[in-house]
Amino acid sequence: MSKRDYYEILSVSKTATESELKISYRRLAMKLHPDRNPDDDSAQDKFKECKEAYEVLKDPQKRAAYDQYGHAGVGQGAGPGGFHGDVGDVFGDIFGDIFGGGRGRGRPQQQRGADLRYPIELDLEEAVSGVEREIKIPTLAECDPCNGSGSQDGKRETCTTCNGAGQVRMQQGIFSMQQTCPSCQGQGSQVSNPCPKCHGQGRLRESRTLSVKIPPGVDNGDRIRLSGEGEAGANSAPSGDLYVEVHVKTHSIFERDGDDLYCEAPIDFAMASLGGELEVPTLDGQVKLKIPGGTQSGKMFRMRGKGVKSVRSQRHGDLMCRVRLETPVNLNKKQKAALRDFQESLGEHKHHYPDGNSWVDGLKSFFSRAKS
């Protein structure tokens, strides 16, 4: 049985933000949980399906692979070998998101820094041939004097409020729940001698300049992942990743469709009638295109291998050139007379204008049927 679309499962659009994904997932998970649907035998499968979709779409790398290749791009599920874990574990994750803790959680784990997204604008020529750019990224970087620990002497003490658990239990009547420790913010430890530069935070807001190599053949929406170049994690945790998102500017001559390029070239009446050679621009320079006699306006010519080299293979796309008949303007008396003489010389010979005459025949047939 084919898998359902992950965006459809979560009832979100393909442009949904991380926040929209999380809100929709929480709502559906609470609604579909088997404990709330004891008479529905399919509830557990629906619940796991919802979890699997969220696990893929919340991860930028997995989401990019899914958007491009579908289910084949993310294996059989949200991780290697498919979705694992029972409903109880999943439900605990939901409570953890909402209340800052979950069932069966132990000591707090280090949380890597946030991933960052940086949009970069390229000319078509840069996207096709590749380019190296320097970009300036505002981010949270690890504090050098304390190596990201937040402590001037490198020492941290166990939090006395949660005794190192990172969570505290709250009792309200018969209900009991866990929430993030307000004293250590879930870290389980505290800094007694804070670093004077970062004031115990372990991170500083700064701008970094990075050199990014854009590979040849990228297109709108492609992303380049720079591992470890995102925000620094708190308390020396690993940094997140940086995703450079490509946006290609509109070109004055070419339009791109995948690996193919399209352009339009004007030709005059004489060339369209008699044929000739037309110089056509490509990204590698001008080439000559042979125009056969009797070419009609709108005719499309394919120039193989003159498009874009795919970023994912060695294949070259094609250049599609559409010719457009340009009507001469500002004619003098002599030129107008020559055109009238030429028009009269054609007489009633229908074979000179096959398209026009078939259109006239069609009109006659239409009016004939309308009168009967």
> Right CATH number for 255-359 from 2.60.260.20, 3.40.390.10, 1.20.140.10, 1.10.390.10?
2.60.260.20
Q: Is the pLDDT of residue 293 over 70?
A: yes
Return the higher-pLDDT residue of 309 and 175. 309
pLDDT at residue 97, as a whole number: 44
Q: Say if residues 211 and 136 touch (Cβ distance below 8 Å).
A: no
Window from 27-41, 53-67, 80-94, 350-364 with minimum mean pLDDT: 80-94
- Which ranges in the chain are annotated with CATH 2.60.260.20? 111-154+196-250, 255-359
> Where is mean pLDDT largest: 94-98, 172-176, 187-191, 282-286?
282-286
AA letter at 343: Q
pLDDT at residue 124, as a whole number: 95
Window from 231-240, 289-298, 300-309, 351-360 with minimum mean pLDDT: 351-360
Secondary structure in 3-state letters for 274-318:
HCEEEEEEECCEEEEEEECCCCCCCCEEEECCCCCECCCCCCECC
**pLDDT, tens digit (0-9, with 9 covering 90-100), for 139-190:** 888 888 887 778 878 777 888 888 888 888 876 665 667 788 887 777 777 7
Confidence of residue 117 (pLDDT cuts 50, 70, 90): very high
Give the strand pairing for 131-142 and 319-325. Answer: unpaired
**pLDDT, tens digit (0-9, with 9 covering 90-100), for 200-246:** 788 888 888 999 999 999 999 999 999 988 888 877 778 889 999 99
Q: Is the pLDDT of residue 76 over 80?
A: no
Give the residue carrying structure tokens 């990201």: 148
Give the CATH number of domain 6-99: 1.10.287.110
Answer whether CATH 2.60.260.20 is correct for domain 111-154+196-250.
Answer: yes
Confidence of residue 63 (pLDDT cuts 50, 70, 90): confident
pLDDT at residue 217, as a whole number: 93
What is the rounded distance in angstroms from the CA atom of residue 5 to the CA atom of residue 17? 17
- Which ranges in the chain are annotated with CATH 1.10.287.110? 6-99
